[in-house]
Structure 1
């Protein structure tokens, strides 16, 4: 019985890995943060540089999140996966880490097997643990294959994210408007008001022009009821919409 269970688990593991690999192959870029949350400094122990190096060796076009991106990636961050290294549970007598890959909406696409090390020196331990965790990606037969269905899949992700967000209906002096965001005017200053689901954005009237839904990605928001995101880059906020055809991102003047 135990042998059958082991075989079943192995079969399911191989199946899930194959599905994840097919999805990962749709991405050309990987963005690595210059600082991990569990460490105190940027590129501490050179772990961020190591992570970027490993993904480059695997064939991905890889950047730090503070680097200058190519034009196509600036226009559409959804062409990239966002890598992260996290401390794993059970590290009392060992250093343990996982490597995760998420899409631009914060959906986890892949999580490696936990890498571990019992070395006492922190730098050596983290380097060894990261390399061991990356072996889950190393065994994949990665080859970039652009997906023609990616736009449709991204629309589904947006709709699903909007559906699961429960926004409490409260009376307010600020009345919602059905008008679209005036993103063409550079003189329009918008103001973000914090809400449980994220932010509501109003103009000087005040009038609600859109609602921003939180994601797990830093400075990236879904726009409620639209196939669009609002994101921050180089201290500027941008509005990017995709209704089957990706439009040029528009600069927004939002005060948070």
Structure 2
């Protein structure tokens, strides 16, 4: 019996370590302004309190509609996505704090916070506080690069000289029909854009923001987003921000 308990303890500690290693690779957390199990944005101040929890443990936190720093705006996969899992029943309010990566994979789940208080607001506060307490075991400390530089999105030859960065790079407008007509074909977590050859030109993956995708091509990576009625593919090329207007048919 004692050996079994020791083995369980080792396995649990190993699991916690693996979660910590994964979470430590991320500097940012993005959380929604409204949780799916509530009807109003920031109901009971729960979103504000959740933001404060992540900040307490060292994360830099944004709401989905906040203005993001440039490194995060160009690479939404540089952030984890925070959420609350409501597993409440008739007799108790239950909450878990969850962190997922940009592909939707869960990288951390807190212990379940539980409350038997009948008042909803007080019950959510108590359950969140209990769930948040278990995050201390993460010992979170950001160990990734100081910033996810936009130039890291498109790899540059090592022999290239360093080019001074302007504070606010201006996108270069390329022709609308750079790829002529592109057709969007559904794939897991997004679409692949195919030309008339047919050839897969780029794959675009969903983020938490509507009409905003991370994009991966053969030679360039960046973001694809909708602005008005038009779609744009933005990426860095030779330390210069490039914006291509795409002609996509869904």
- Superposed displacement of residue 138, structure 1: 2.2
* 1:199 pairs with 2:191: yes
Shift in alpha-carbon separation, 1:126–1:223, aligned structure 2, 3 A: same
Q: Which moved more, 1:186-195 or 1:48-57?
A: 186-195
Relative contact order (C-alpha < 8 Å, sep 6+): which is higher? 2
TM-score, normalising length from structure 1?
0.68
Secondary structure of 1:143's aligned partner: coil
TM-score, normalising length from structure 2?
0.70
Distance 1:111 1:247 in 2: 39
What per-residue deviation string (whole Å, max 9, x for no partner) do you get for residues 78-111 of structure 1?
A: 22111111112x6331111111111222222111
Distance 2:174 2:57 in 1: 43
Q: What is aligned with 1:139?
A: 137
**RMSD value, Cα:** 3.8
1:187 to 157, 171, 176: 176
What is the count of residue pairs matched by the alignment?
Answer: 222
What per-residue deviation string (whole Å, max 9, x for no partner) do you get for residues 58-89 of structure 1?
A: 1111111111111221122222111111112x
Choose between structure 1 and 2: higher strand proportion. 2
What per-residue deviation string (whole Å, max 9, x for no partner) do you get for residues 175-214 of structure 1?
A: xxxxxxxx963524866646464435467x7966546466
1:111 to 100, 109, 112: 109
Secondary structure of 1:27's aligned partner: coil
Q: What is aligned with 2:46?
A: 47
Distance 2:194 2:141 in 1: 44
Runs of 4+ residues deviating >3 angstroms? 188-203, 205-242, 245-256
Choose between structure 1 and 2: higher helix proportion. 1
Superposition pairs of residues 49-88 of structure 1, within 5 angstroms: 49-88=48-87
Superposition pairs of residues 93-172 of structure 1, within 5 angstroms: 93-146=91-144
Secondary structure of 2:16's aligned partner: helix
Distance 1:233 1:102 in 2: 24
Secondary structure of 2:56's aligned partner: helix
Do 1:105 and 1:217's aligned partners in 2 also have CA atoms closer than 8 Å?
no
Structure 2: stretches of 5+ with no match in the other structure: 154-171
